Structure 1
């Protein structure tokens, strides 16, 4: 199951960006040629992220299309199908470009239950008087 390798790569990027803070969600751009299914990658991510800042986090996938150029008619199209045929003539003689990306787009941090200090920039604890 190739999802485990991809899940490990995503986890490494998430941990680096989170910098020790808990993560509850991550949005990932995945090229169509990687053939990643959201349920499978979430299962793999759940396993590899156990005991990390991303434990329990959910992945949202954005599938990036592959550019296909037909060798018969020259038609160019975008497709999220990794086994695309030419939409113009139906030929299977297509060259593909791109579609192998893996990009961590964003993470959503878990909200802290208590953060000392004033969020408006005061370095002191807003609940205490000096």
Structure 2
């Protein structure tokens, strides 16, 4: 299952951005040529993220279409189906471009149960006595 490799790549990017903070959601743009779906990538992500700050996080998937060019009639189009036929002539002589992107667009951090310091005046943990 290639989804595990993709899930591991997403986890690496999420961990780099989260810097140890717990993550609730990762929004990912994935090209149609990767042929992944949100339920399957979430299942794989759940397995690879066990024990990490992203454990329990959900992946929100945005599929980026692939560009199609028909070799038979010259029609161009975009599709989220990597196995599309030409919508104009039904031909299968299709050249594709793009659709192989994998981009971590954003993460949503989980709320911390306790944040040290004073919420109105403190900008972090002071070093030394105050």
| TM surpasses 0.5 | yes
**What is the root-mean-square deviation in Å for CA atoms of aligned residues?**
1.7
**Where do 1:96-115 residues align within 5 Å?**
96-115=96-115
C-alpha distance in 1 between matches for 2:120 and 2:30 = 37
What is the aligned residue count?
Answer: 126
When normalised by structure 1's length, the TM-score is 0.91
Q: 1:124 to 1:19 in 2, by over 3 A?
A: closer
C-alpha distance in 2 between matches for 1:123 and 1:27 = 28
1:80 alignment partner in structure 2: 80
When normalised by structure 2's length, the TM-score is 0.91
Moved over 6 A (4+): none
Q: Secondary structure at the match of 2:12?
A: helix
Q: 1:70 to 1:124 in 2, by over 3 A?
A: closer
Question: 5+ residue gaps in structure 2?
Answer: none
